[in-house]
Structures are given as C-alpha cells and as structure tokens.
Amino acid sequence: MAEDTLVIAGKEVRSRLITGSGKYADDRMIRDILAAAECDIITVAVRRVDFDKKEDSFLRHIPEGKTLLPNTSGARTAEEAARIARLGREIGCGNWVKIEVINDLKYLLPDALETVKATEILAKEGFVVFPYMTPDLSIARRLVDAGAAAIMPLGAPIGTNRGLRTLELIEILVEEIHLPVIVDAGIGRPSHAAHAMEIGVDAILLNTAIATSKDPVRMAEAFKLAVRAGRAAYLAGPGSESKHAQASSPLTGFLDT
C-alpha cells in the first residue's frame, strides 16, 4: 500500500492527530500524552508563556522534534492576532500559527472578516497560517485567496465535546477546498474523530476531550487509533448505502428452493 502522508506547506506530517497543551491538571502530563497520541504537531497558547521565565513554562514539557503551532487565543482583531503571532515567532515557536480571532464571549465563534484579514497580513509576512473558522464555503475561499496553508473548521463550539454538529458543511469544504481541512473544536469522543476522518478531512485537532477525560493518556491513545481507523476507512472507500436489505449470502439454491 502506498504511503499516505499529509503535506502542509511542503512539510510532511506523519500523524493526522494534532493535540493541544492546555487544560491539563499538571503540565508534566504533556509528555506522556504526546507519546500516547504519537502526534507531530502540538498547539500552544502564546499568552500562557511567561516571557520572564520561559525555562519554567509548560513549553519545557514538549519534547524536541515536535512542530509547535502557536495560537492567537485572546485576539479580538486581526491586528491583535498578528501581534501575538509575531511574539510567538520571537520566543522560538516558529512561523506556523493558528489564527483565532474571537469577539463572541458566549459561544466563542470566530470573527470571519477579521480572520481573513489576519490571514492575509501574516501570510504576506511568511507565516504558515492555519485559520480557525466556521465551516462557511465563501469564507473558506477567501481564506485560500488570503494565503492560508490549511483551513480549520469547527465541529462544534470550542470545549463542548459535542461532536460534528456541522458535519454537512464540513463535507462541502472537503469537496470544494483544495487545501488540508483540519477539524478543530467540538470533537469529544474517538468516534467523532473517526467519523470526521471517514468523510475525508485531513486531520483532527483537539484538546478538551483528552484533558477533561478521566485518563488523559489512555484517551490520547484512543484518539490516535480512531484517527488512523477513520483515515483507513476513507481510503478503502465505504460501501454504498441502501434502504432495502441485501443478503450477504445467496438465499436460493439450497434446501430444494
């Protein structure tokens, strides 16, 4: 079987599971969770970094060799997002960035227009931009034009663990947008992740589902396996559905019938 590799901005990514680094009861868990998930990319909130004591921050628990994806959590405008992204690059997080521009404090839904603007600003500055977005085709197309390296539609509001509430809209993006589609936010169970992968999304980003589980390390492994299974099912091509029963074996030709 040919190797199935995800490529983003020219970089090969082995794992299609991306995990976060927040909400854990103890930051020392991060290393074990990453080992169980076997992920290559981990998101970090720049605003959580203590710039005076970087050596004592949660970053020291992230093993070498991982690709950091700093996010602009806390930004309310494109300009604020751009400033946070630049800070992340200055402290050594690299030039990959997840854009989050949120003004809605109840549902934490992204501001589409400011997200497009931030994407355009940072792409021109050489950042590899991953915009977090509602699954809207017209906005997705604007993000492509703005220079996004991938798009990150939400499955449900952040931190809800409610699954793929936007499934049909994500399916449209998978069909129409020729960039990696990474479902971000709302995935709460391994079955949710597997379902998303089965419809052809390229990767899954999650944090709350692992961090709030009773056994985060075991849950990280469960998500790893679910993402792999869902991708394998997509590549295999699920069988067609039917409203009528169809026997797996012939019903005629035996017992004198």
Options 98, 124, 214, 243, the catalytic residue: 98
Q: Distance between CA 182 and CA 251 in Å, rounded?
A: 45
Instruction: Name 13's bridge partners.
Output: 6
Active site residue 98: yes
Q: Rounded to whole angstroms, how far apart are CA atoms 46 and 127?
A: 15
Residues in a beta bridge with 68 = 42
Q: Report the largest interatomic distance among the alpha carbons of the chain, rounded to a whole angstrom.
A: 86
Phi, psi for residue 166 in degrees, rounded to 5: -110, 30
Distance CA 222, CA 69 (A): 22
Q: How many CB atoms lie within 10 A of CB 169?
A: 17
- In this structure, how many other beta carbons lie within 10 angstroms of the beta carbon of residue 127? 24
- Whole-number Å distance between alpha carbons of 220 and 181: 21
Name the residue among 252, 232, 246 with its Cα closest to residue 4: 232
Residue type, 150: A
Scanning the chain, the segments in alpha helix (DSSP H) are: 29-37, 78-90, 112-124, 137-146, 167-176, 190-198, 208-211, 216-236
- The residues annotated with a catalytic role in the active site are 98
